[in-house]
């Protein structure tokens, strides 16, 4: 086993994970400190760096024509900025006492230790893949990485049948349902939850369910997959639940992810109840002066509930990386936490949420009013005004906004950002009713749907108080 452990006058930063959080951290640190002051070594076990997994559904669905468009910065570009990037190299052990990591070349199996002065853990998340018969059969695909996306596209190119089953109806599941529709497949979505999009309350999830059925997608809710049947050729043929079997020429998994923290756990680093690394506000791992962590492998503070949560989203991973890079590079930056904002779509249906659902609020002992309103994306008389449903939660007595969910057509989803800002600012729904939002008939009714919901919530709170 080789070593690259000799310390020189300059510091060495070692980064584990070459995507959003890891390479943002490396790039930001490099912006602040040149190669004379800081050596940066980044390990990535895959073939790609700085890629957008978020774009995979649109690449598979054909909206994005070329895989390379999803790559924000190539290995060559990183190396040109004096980042010693080691692709196809997996870190297999952290030795915190001696300040070094053990890495293995995935292709040759060769191992070596690399010492560090500062360490960034950005290992992301691991897709959940239940141990069921047939799960590894050809024709069954995850969509976590670009390699996964390519493998799925290769399967689609070879497959003559046109029946796809998507397992899971979170945002990745619904986005992949759209991708498969766009590829001309007959799509069935098998979902364990009561309704799709469990990040919404069930009454709002119901709207997604109905809209997806209206798009010709067969929705099977409240159903746990028990096995994947295969044909004589070993390829997947059907997805079975306790009550039924759904024929499948291809199966796409979107069941969710868990923090990839096996290395951190083995090294004794602090993990939270969701299995993610625990950091302070500078993204430094709690109790470890020279170790930072960010992205899908960490837990974050939910500013609305005050609880730690695991919210694996690229929007957070990129910010974490920037903040880590700033701190490692000698600056000062902090990550305050999140309010839980997310937006996605299935065909022309936009789905958005921020803050707490009813069950989240109850779990932390908050009492609230929940209101739901119907409105439109533009002035009612303006051509192509489309309907949307907005649900808002506000705390009893204080009137503080607690959460917002939107299901609608074009122009609905990004309205959630109004509520994300209001939540961050700790606004009451009463204060929101007079927010100075832009208005003209092509963009919204004179009372924006979010303000209509705020007015209704404020009236309820006053009535209840
Ligand atoms: C299909 C899909 C759609 C998505 N859509 C959205 C969206 O619309 N909006 C949004 O905000 N987020 C979205 N996300 C989530 C987003 O992609 C992730 O939150 C983001 O990629 C997390 O970045 P990360 O750097 O923390 O982890 P990852 O992107 O998972 O990167 C971690 C990297 O570390 C490497 N690695 C892990 N362990 C080791 C090791 N031991 N040694 C070496 N390398 C290692 C992995 O190979 C990987 O490349 C989507 C994800 C998927 C899969």
Averaged over 79-108, what is the pLDDT? 98
Q: Band the pLDDT of 246: cuts 50, 70, 90.
A: very high
pLDDT in the model for residue 9: 75
Residue nearest to atom 15 of ligand 1 (CA): 313
Indicate which residue's Cα is closest to atom 23 of ligand 1.
20
Q: Which pLDDT band, with edges at 50, 70 and 90, does 7 fall under?
A: low
Q: What is the DSSP letter of 188?
A: E
CA of 388 to the centre of ligand 1 (A): 31
- How many other CB atoms are there within 10 angstroms of residue 13's CB atom? 27
Q: Is 54 a catalytic residue?
A: yes
- In this predicted model, what pLDDT tens digit does every residue of 388-427 receive, in sequence order? 999 999 999 999 999 999 999 999 999 999 999 999 999 9
- Which of 25, 46, 124 has most ligand 1 atoms within 8 Å of its beta carbon, as the pocket-test mutant? 124
Give percent above pLDDT 90 in the chain. Answer: 97
Residue 464's pLDDT band (cuts 50, 70, 90): confident
Q: What pLDDT score was predicted for residue 6?
A: 52
Q: How far is the CA of 1 from the centre of ligand 1 (A)?
A: 30
CB neighbourhood size of 127 (10 A):
18
Residue 3 has pLDDT above 60, yes or no: no
Is 122 near ligand 1, meaning CB less than 6 Å away?
yes
Look at residue 4 in the predicted model and tell me its pLDDT.
Answer: 56
Catalytic residue among 32, 54, 64, 303: 54
Pocket perturbation via mutation, ligand 1, pick of 14, 18, 19 by most ligand atoms within 8 A of CB? 19
Ligand 1 neighbourhood includes 16 CB (under 6 angstroms): yes
What residue owns the CA closest to ligand 1's atom 27?
124
Q: Is the dihedral of CA 363, 365, 366, 368 positive or negative?
A: positive
Q: Report whether residue 44 contacts ligand 1, using a CB cutoff of 6 Å.
A: yes
Residue 189, pLDDT > 70, answer yes
Q: Which CATH number fits domain 129-255: 3.40.50.1970, 3.30.300.10, 3.50.50.60, 2.60.40.10?
A: 3.50.50.60
Specify the pLDDT at position 64: 97
Q: What is the pLDDT of residues 259-282, one digit of tens each?
A: 999 999 999 999 999 999 999 999
**Overall average pLDDT of the 323-352 stretch:** 97
Of all atoms in ligand 1, which is nearest to the CA of residue 20?
25
| Separation of alpha carbons 137 and 261, rounded Å | 27
pLDDT at 197 over 60: yes
Note whether 6-126+258-328 and 349-463 share their fold: no
Q: What is the mean pLDDT of residues 445-452?
A: 98
CATH of 6-126+258-328, one of 3.50.50.60, 3.10.20.90, 3.30.70.260, 3.30.565.10: 3.50.50.60
Q: Is the CB of 295 under 6 A from ligand 1?
A: yes
Ligand 1 mean position, distance from CA 217 (Å): 28
Q: Pocket of ligand 1, candidates 16, 54, 346: which has the most ligand atoms within 8 Å of its Cβ, to mutate?
A: 54
Q: pTM of the predicted model, to two decimals?
A: 0.96
Distance from the CA of 52 to the center of ligand 1, in angstroms?
8
Query: Does pLDDT of 340 surpass 60?
Result: yes
Q: Atom of ligand 1 at shortest distance to CA of 320?
A: 26
Tell me the average pLDDT across 222-234: 96
Residue 144 CA, ligand 1 centroid: distance in Å: 7
**Helix (H) or strand (E) segment spanning residue 153:** helix 146-158
Ligand 1 atom closest to Cα of residue 295: 26
Q: Which atom of ligand 1 is nearest to the CA of 313?
A: 19
The pLDDT assigned to 49 comes to 95
Query: How much is the pLDDT for 456?
Result: 98
pLDDT in tens, 371-392: 999 999 999 999 999 999 999 9
256 lines ligand 1 (CB under 6 A): no
330 sits in the region (left: phi over 0; alpha: psi -120 to 50; else beta) called: left
Residue bearing the CA closest to ligand 1, atom 8: 54
For domain 349-463, give the CATH superfamily. Answer: FAD/NAD-linked reductase, C-terminal dimerisation domain (3.30.390.30)
* pLDDT for the residue 8: 61
Take residue 168 and report the two structure tokens written for it. Answer: 């899971």
- Residue 412 has phi, psi (to 5 degrees) of -85, -50
Query: Is residue 314 scored above 60 in pLDDT?
Result: yes
Per domain, the residue ranges of the chain are: 6-126+258-328, 129-255, 349-463
Computed over every residue of the chain, the mean pLDDT equals 96
List Cα–Cα distances, 429 to 11, 360, 415, in angstroms.
50, 19, 15
CA of 3 to the centre of ligand 1 (A): 29
- pLDDT for position 55: 97
22 Cβ inside 6 Å of ligand 1: yes
Query: Does residue 29 have a pLDDT over 90?
Result: yes
Q: Over the stretch 114-134, which tens digit does the pLDDT of each residue have? A: 999 999 999 999 999 999 999
Q: How confident is the model at residue 312 (pLDDT cuts 50, 70, 90)?
A: very high
Q: Once rounded to an integer, what is the mean pLDDT over residues 336-356?
A: 97
């Amino acid at each position: 086993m080789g070593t690259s452990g000799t310390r020189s006058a300059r510091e060495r930063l070692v980064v584990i994970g070459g995507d959003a959080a890891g390479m943002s951290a490396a790039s930001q640190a490099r912006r602040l400190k040149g190669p004379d002051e800081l050596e940066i070594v980044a390990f990535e076990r895959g073939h790609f760096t700085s890629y957008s997994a978020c774009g995979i559904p649109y690449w598979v669905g054909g909206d994005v024509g070329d895989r390379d468009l999803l790559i924000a910065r190539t290995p060559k570009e990183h190396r040109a900025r004096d980042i010693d990037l080691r692709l196809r190299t997996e870190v297999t052990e952290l030795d915190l006492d001696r300040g070094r990591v053990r890495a293995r070349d995935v292709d040759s199996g060769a191992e070596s230790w690399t010492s560090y002065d500062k360490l960034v853990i950005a290992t992301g998340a691991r897709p959940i893949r239940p141990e069921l018969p047939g799960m590894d059969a050809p024709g069954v695909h995850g969509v976590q990485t670009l390699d996964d996306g390519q493998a799925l596209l290769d399967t689609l190119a070879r497959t003559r049948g046109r029946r796809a089953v998507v397992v899971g109806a979170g945002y990745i599941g619904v986005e992949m349902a759209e991708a498969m529709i766009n590829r001309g497949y007959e799509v069935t979505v098998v979902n364990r939850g009561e309704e799709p999009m469990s990040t919404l309350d069930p009454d709002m999830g119901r709207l997604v369910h109905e809209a997806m059925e209206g798009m010709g997608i067969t929705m099977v809710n409240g159903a746990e997959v028990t096995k994947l049947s295969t044909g004589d050729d070993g390829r997947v043929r059907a997805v079975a639940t306790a009550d039924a079997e759904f024929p499948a020429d291809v199966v796409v998994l979107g069941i969710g992810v868990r923090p990839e923290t096996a290395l951190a756990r083995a090294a004794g680093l602090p993990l939270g109840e969701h299995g993610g690394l625990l950091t302070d506000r500078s993204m430094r791992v709690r109790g470890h002066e020279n170790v930072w962590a960010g992205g899908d492998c960490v837990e974050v503070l939910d500013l609305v509930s005050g609880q730690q949560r695991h919210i694996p989203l690229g929007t957070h991973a990129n910010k974490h990386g920037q903040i880590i890079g700033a701190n490692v590079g000698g600056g000062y930056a902090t990550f305050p936490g999140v309010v839980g904002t997310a937006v996605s779509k299935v065909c022309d249906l936009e789905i958005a949420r921020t803050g707490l659902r009813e069950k989240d609020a109850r779990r932390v002992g908050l009492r609230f009013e929940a209101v739901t309103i119907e409105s439109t994306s533009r002035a009612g008389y303006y051509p192509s005004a489309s309907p949307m449903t907005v649900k808002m939660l506000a705390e009893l007595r204080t009137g503080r906004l607690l959460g917002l969910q939107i299901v609608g057509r074009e122009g609905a989803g990004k309205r959630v950002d109004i509520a994300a800002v209001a939540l961050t600012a700790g606004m009451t729904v009463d204060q929101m009713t007079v927010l100075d939002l832009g208005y003209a008939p092509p963009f919204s009714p004179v009372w924006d749907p979010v303000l209509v919901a705020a007015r209704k919530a404020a009236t309820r709170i006053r009535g209840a108080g």
